Homo-oligomer: A and B are copies of this chain.
Amino acid sequence: MAANSRVTIAAHALAWLELARQRGRPWMTSDEVAASVKTNPVILRRSLGDLHKAGLVRSRRGAGAGFSLARPAEEITMLDVWNAVSPEPLLALHRTEPNQECPVGAGIKPALTDTYDEATEAFRAALARRTIAGILEKILNT
């Protein structure tokens, strides 16, 4: 399938940063996070870069560098994560403009946009109810 796994990667990284913080390791390198996710460090630097732009993590360069959470894990929701890494709409309209001379073709876009926006908003609201702290708690109690 084509759906990307960036939200998953980012949530994993954030949960791991929070667990490390609780264990007294507030700064983690992209190599260390990549080892937990089991992928390439560059993937993590890109993902953490998105989270950095969104203000969810801090980064330090130079020797002894790394990443750490920029806010308490209780205040980072899955919606924040989704907003940070997933700019795509869930449902796409027509790839090519429909026939404007047909009544359906001429008017369908706003009708579907309404429906898609409504469904997307419900999806976002559900993500907003979960936090990284909650995810981590569930992980540790399994």
Chain A interface (Cβ < 8 Å from any Cβ of B) = 1-5, 7-9, 11-12, 15-16, 19, 35-39, 78, 88-99, 102-105, 107-108, 110-112, 114-115, 118-127, 129-130, 135-136, 138-140, 142
Contact = CB atoms under 8 A, between A and B. Distances in A.
Contacts of A119: 78, 123-124, 126-127
Contacts of A1: 88-89, 92
18 contacts: A1-B88, A3-B88, A3-B91, A9-B94, A12-B104, A12-B108, A38-B96, A38-B99, A90-B123, A104-B136, A110-B138, A112-B135, A114-B138, A115-B135, A119-B124, A120-B123, A122-B122, A122-B123
Nearest to A17: B104
Contacts of A8: 91-94, 112
B107 A140 contact: yes
A95 B88 CA distance: 19
Given A119-B127, A123-B119, A126-B122, A36 B102 contact: yes
A60 to B, nearest CB: 22
A135 B111 contact: yes
A117 to B, nearest CB: 10
Contacts of A7: 91
B118 A3 contact: no
